[in-house]
């Protein structure tokens, strides 16, 4: 760390000095990570730091990292290294903080590759992190903080939501599923469910503050409460939230639903709800029972398709999204064909597709990564073509429908929003609509895989 005299960082009374320091966060990875960054921002503001408009202008630059796939992790390391070097030239007194899953998994490598790092913290140091940042800023001290296990009593509270109409709200932390390819249980620890009373306070606060949309987050929301021995706590939570929101117009979403744990009770609550959105993110991962077993997913293709049918038959207009991995060890052509068969049968509305990447410490990393990269790429290509075909075939069926859309994006003249069932709709005409407004939209023919509509008023 730079030890030159620094006006902004000389010791003194805490509040006025800290108030001069600004911070910026760049987040890699999933919504859960975005939410973690919002929590960190809230806590740093409480300590007197203020948020910089741009990362380039921040005194304290924070990278909240993701380790789910190797390629993304390498890319993140490159971005952090380059930004750190440029930023230390721009602002020699700045503080570089790296936290999140990569900090947990690969701290030696990060420290070796990026000497500019001042604070490196793992995923179980969230509680202390704002204080560590404060200490490093004051004491000009290099800090590496790493705990093996999460603090059991820590209850995360408070978020500085970066979007003023849509809020992420984590309801569980960690994951107990140990899918064999996945590093998340190792980087984030066992599942901890947030107490209902805290969620109640948070939901009511968001409602009072004019939020239009709340997305509950968890690696497997369906197992909410399992760590207290409750098997049906998620449907109870959804029903409770519905009651707390009664009389207010707010859409409630949730991610992710592990297919093994999706049950009729949850689908029924969504079916009869006025505010819970009929979109289910139900990661398939693979369509062959052999691969599903090797992945330790806990369901078969038949169980999976039963769940998709349950959703589609119970709730007309429900949409189903998925994640799929190609090239898992031992995936033969015929296993891959089985994935394609399930995809065609499930008729997914949304899909994220990935090439298998071995992660250190996971069960699958002990298997030989035996599918050549060319074959993995080819499979990904074929899969994406089929998914695109399914999507395109559905587009004309949407024409002429009237749907309700919550406006959430304005890019120049292009205004768009999402329906309750998670369909992005672009408005034909440039409207004087505000972000956060609900409008009725008549869907017109799509273009380039985009759905368009005209406002019905
Ligand atoms: N908890 C969620 C998502 C976890 S990570 C779930 O269970 O679905 C998001 C997605 O990344 C996963 O659904 C999976 O498709 C993908 N993924 C995770 N580990 C991976 C790996 N090692 N290689 C390739 N894709 C991976
Ligand atoms: Fe990873 Fe499986 Fe947990 Fe999702 S459910 S985070 S894929 S271990």
CATH of the domain at 78: 3.40.50.12160
Query: What's the CA gap between 297 and 294, in Å, rounded?
Result: 8
Domain of residue 451 covers: 399-455
* Helices and strands counted in the chain (H then E): 14, 19
Query: To which H or E segment does residue 294 belong?
Result: helix 289-294
Nearest CA to ligand 1 atom 8: 283
CA 356–ligand 1 middle distance (angstroms): 9
Q: Are residues 387 and 419 in the same domain?
A: no
Nearest CA to ligand 1 atom 5: 68
Other residues' Cβ atoms within 10 Å of the Cβ of residue 93? 17
Query: What's the CA gap between 430 and 175, in Å, rounded?
Result: 44
List pLDDT tens digits, range 48-102: 999 999 999 999 999 999 999 999 899 999 999 999 999 999 999 999 999 999 9
Residues in the chain: 457
Highest mean pLDDT, choosing among 18-32, 309-323, 404-418: 309-323
Q: Are residues 208 and 84 in the same domain?
A: no
CATH code of residue 176: 3.80.30.20
Residue 417 maps to a domain: yes
CA 436–ligand 1 middle distance (angstroms): 31
CA 68–ligand 1 middle distance (angstroms): 7
CA 283–ligand 1 middle distance (angstroms): 8
Q: Are residues 391 and 417 in the same domain?
A: no
Q: Are residues 330 and 230 in the same domain?
A: yes
Nearest CA to ligand 2 atom 5: 177
Q: Which ligand is nearest to the CA of 284?
A: 1
pLDDT of residue 237: 98
Considering only residues 73 and 11, tell me which one the structure prediction assigns the higher pLDDT: 73
Q: Is the pLDDT of residue 5 over 70?
A: no
* Residue at a domain's end among 145, 178, 210: 145
Domain total in the chain? 3
Return the ligand 1 atom nearest residue 179 CA.
7
Q: Are residues 423 and 446 in the same domain?
A: yes
Q: Where residue 224 falls among pLDDT bands split at 50, 70, 90?
A: very high
Q: Which of 29, 285, 325 to mutate to test the pocket of ligand 1 (most atoms within 8 A of CB)?
A: 325
Q: Is the pLDDT of residue 41 over 60?
A: yes
List pLDDT tens digits, range 253-293: 999 999 999 999 999 999 999 999 999 999 999 999 999 99
What does the DSSP 8-state code read for residue 116?
T
Q: Tell me how far CA of residue 273 lies from CA of 316, 364, 441, in angstroms.
A: 13, 40, 22
* Residue at a domain's end among 354, 377, 396: 396
What does the DSSP 8-state code read for residue 8?
G
Query: What's the CA gap between 399 and 131, in Å, rounded?
Result: 54
Q: Are residues 390 and 403 in the same domain?
A: no
Query: What DSSP letter does each residue of 90-104 carry, written as one string?
Result: H-TT-EEEEEEHHHH
Return the ligand 2 atom nearest residue 185 CA.
8
Q: Where residue 17 falls among pLDDT bands split at 50, 70, 90?
A: low
CATH code of residue 429: 2.40.50.140
Residue 129 maps to a domain: yes
Nearest CA to ligand 2 atom 1: 182
Q: Are residues 361 and 277 in the same domain?
A: yes
Q: Are residues 390 and 436 in the same domain?
A: no
Cis omega (within 30 of 0) for bond into 451: no
Q: Where residue 449 falls among pLDDT bands split at 50, 70, 90?
A: confident
CA angle 182, 334, 352 (to 5 degrees): 40
Residue 389 maps to a domain: yes
Q: Note whether 171 and 217 are within 8 A (CB).
A: yes
Residue 157 maps to a domain: no
Give the mean pLDDT of the chain: 92
CA 109–ligand 1 middle distance (angstroms): 23
List pLDDT tens digits, range 433-444: 899 999 999 999
> Using a 6 Å cutoff on CB, does residue 69 contact ligand 1?
yes
Return the ligand 1 atom nearest residue 68 CA.
19
Q: Are residues 94 and 68 in the same domain?
A: yes
> Using a 6 Å cutoff on CB, does residue 369 contact ligand 1?
no
Q: Are residues 283 and 371 in the same domain?
A: yes
Torsion on CA atoms 211, 212, 218, 220, rounded to nearest 10: 160
Q: Tell me how far CA of residue 338 lies from CA of 307, 333, 371, in angstroms.
A: 17, 9, 17
Residue 278 maps to a domain: yes
Query: What's the CA gap between 286 and 290, in Å, rounded?
Result: 9
Q: Are residues 415 and 436 in the same domain?
A: yes
Q: Are residues 194 and 316 in the same domain?
A: yes
* Residue at a domain's end among 357, 372, 396: 396
Q: Which ligand is nearest to the CA of 356?
A: 1
Residue 255 maps to a domain: yes
Residue 151 maps to a domain: no
Specify the 3-state DSSP secondary structure of 50.
strand
Query: If phi over 0 gives left and psi between -120 and 50 gives alpha, with beta otherwise, what is residue 28?
Result: beta
Specify the 3-state DSSP secondary structure of 78.
helix
CA 352–ligand 1 middle distance (angstroms): 10
Residue 150 maps to a domain: no
pTM: 0.93
């Amino acid at each position: 760390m730079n030890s030159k005299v620094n006006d902004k960082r000389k010791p003194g009374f805490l509040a006025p000095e800290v108030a001069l320091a600004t911070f910026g966060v760049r987040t890699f990875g999933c919504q859960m990570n975005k939410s973690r960054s919002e929590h960190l921002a809230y806590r740093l503001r409480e300590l007197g730091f203020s948020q910089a408009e741009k990362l380039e202008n921040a005194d304290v630059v924070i990278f909240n990292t993701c380790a789910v796939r190797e390629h993304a992790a390498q890319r993140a390391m490159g971005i952090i290294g380059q930004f750190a070097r440029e930023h230390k030239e721009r602002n020699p007194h700045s503080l570089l903080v790296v936290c999140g899953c990569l900090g947990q998994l690969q701290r030696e490598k990060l420290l070796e590759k990026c000497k500019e790092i001042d604070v490196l913290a793992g995923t179980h140091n969230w509680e202390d992190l704002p204080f560590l940042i404060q200490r490093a800023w004051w004491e000009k001290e290099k800090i590496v903080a790493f705990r093996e296990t999460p603090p059991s009593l820590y209850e995360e509270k408070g978020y500085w939501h970066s979007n003023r109409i849509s809020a992420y709200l984590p309801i569980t932390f960690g994951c107990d599923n140990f899918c064999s390819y996945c590093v998340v249980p190792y980087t984030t620890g066992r599942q901890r469910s947030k107490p209902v009373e805290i969620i109640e306070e948070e939901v009511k606060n968001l409602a009072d503050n004019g939020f239009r949309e709340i997305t509950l987050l968890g690696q497997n929301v369906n197992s909410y409460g399992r760590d207290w021995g409750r098997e049906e706590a998620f449907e109870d939570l959804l029903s409770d939230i519905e009651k707390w929101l009664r009389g207010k117009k707010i859409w409630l979403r949730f991610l992710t639903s592990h297919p093994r744990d999706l049950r009729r009770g949850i689908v029924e609550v969504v079916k009869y709800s006025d505010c819970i959105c009929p979109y289910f993110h139900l990661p398939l991962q693979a369509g062959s029972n052999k691969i599903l077993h090797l992945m330790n997913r806990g369901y078969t293709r038949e169980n999976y398709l039963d769940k998709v049918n349950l959703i589609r038959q119970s709730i007309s207009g429900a949409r189903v999204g998925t994640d799929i991995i190609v090239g898992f060890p031992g995936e033969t052509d015929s296993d891959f064909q089985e994935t394609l068969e399930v995809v065609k049968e499930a008729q997914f509305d949304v899909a994220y597709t990935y090439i298998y990447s071995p992660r250190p410490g996971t069960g699958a990393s002990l298997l030989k990564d035996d599918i050549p990269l060319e074959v993995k790429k080819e499979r990904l290509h074929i899969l994406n073509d089929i998914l695109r075909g399914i999507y395109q075939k559905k587009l004309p069926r949407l024409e002429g429908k009237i749907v309700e859309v919550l406006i959430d994006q304005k890019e120049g003249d292009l205004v768009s929003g999402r329906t309750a069932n998670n369909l992005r709709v672009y408005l034909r005409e440039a409207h004087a609509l505000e972000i956060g407004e609900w409008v009725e939209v008549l869907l017109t023919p799509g273009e380039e895989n985009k759905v368009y509509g005209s406002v019905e008023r």
